[in-house]
Amino acid sequence: MNLILLGYGRMGKAVEAEALAKGHSIALALDTPDYAQLDAFTNQPGVVAIDFSVPDQAVPNAMACLARKIPLVVGTTGWQREYPAVAEAFRTQGGALLVASNFSPGVNFMLGLARQMAAFAERFPAFVPHLSEVHHTRKLDAPSGTAVSLADAYLSGSKKLTGWKGEAHAYGRYQGCPPYLPIEALREEEVFGIHTLTMASDLEEISLRHEAKDRSVFAAGAVAAAEWMVGRRGVFTMQDVLGL
């Protein structure tokens, strides 16, 4: 493949290293929205863009790729509200878009387990759910995109919760289950990502925990997603790539 990197920070450089190790080429690395440089890659076979930029550039980056029929893999988070309109544009205009809040196989497996935990909690209301995430201090969005995806997965299996809310939360704070899923976001130096989904009662506690030990796991997943996108049209997630 010839990859276009939209965003050339820590993750962009990690994707570059992974791609080169797998024999791919970096056709272009853009750290600013100079979209005229994309014109040479319009509707070219084997070209895929990978976006690890910042939230306010995600939508312009996506629309620039769509206009040039460049398949796009997006790992940037913090723009969930704009996603439905962007996805619809890619569907109706024959583009190729894959958006993932997390590219690691473990987190994507955890999404399915979160739905099962919610179904369990429906049967045993004494358990109060709580979601926490820890990331490095440079992360721009809180809660993280992965935490929001896990919350959405849990909520898809719950009939009694109306949504999620970011807040500090102590186990046992509520006498019963609140009408939403609390998400606690913490920031510490050099943490690549720790997500913990917990259900606690007065007598016992169940937790799902995922820890990323190196950002290369996300880079490897993003490159694998780009490989999978070659020749495809439509809107996809990492669940499609992993067959989950």
Q: What CATH number has the domain bearing residue 160? A: 3.30.360.10
Q: Residue 91: its pLDDT value, please?
A: 98
Catalytic residues: 135, 139
Question: Are 172 and 75 contained in the same domain?
Answer: no
Distances (CA, A) of 161 to 91, 100, 129, 182, 213: 31, 24, 10, 10, 32
This prediction has a pTM of 0.85
DSSP state of 175: S
Question: Are 39 and 131 contained in the same domain?
Answer: no
Which residue stretches of the chain are H helix? Answer: 10-21, 55-67, 83-92, 105-123, 145-156, 216-229, 238-242
| 197 close to 117: Cβ distance less than 8 angstroms | yes
Q: Residue 137: its pLDDT value, please?
A: 86
Question: Are 34 and 131 contained in the same domain?
Answer: no
**Domain encompassing residue 31:** 2-103+216-242
Q: Residue 176: its pLDDT value, please?
A: 59
Question: Are 109 and 136 contained in the same domain?
Answer: yes
Question: Are 114 and 205 contained in the same domain?
Answer: yes
Q: Residue 169: its pLDDT value, please?
A: 54
Question: Are 142 and 202 contained in the same domain?
Answer: yes
Question: Are 89 and 139 contained in the same domain?
Answer: no
Q: Which residues of the chain have pLDDT under 50?
A: 170-174
> What backbone torsions phi and psi does residue 159 show, to the nearest 5 degrees?
-100, -15
Q: Residue 105: its pLDDT value, please?
A: 93
Number of domain units in the chain: 2
Can you tell me which residue has the tokens 């276009």?
4
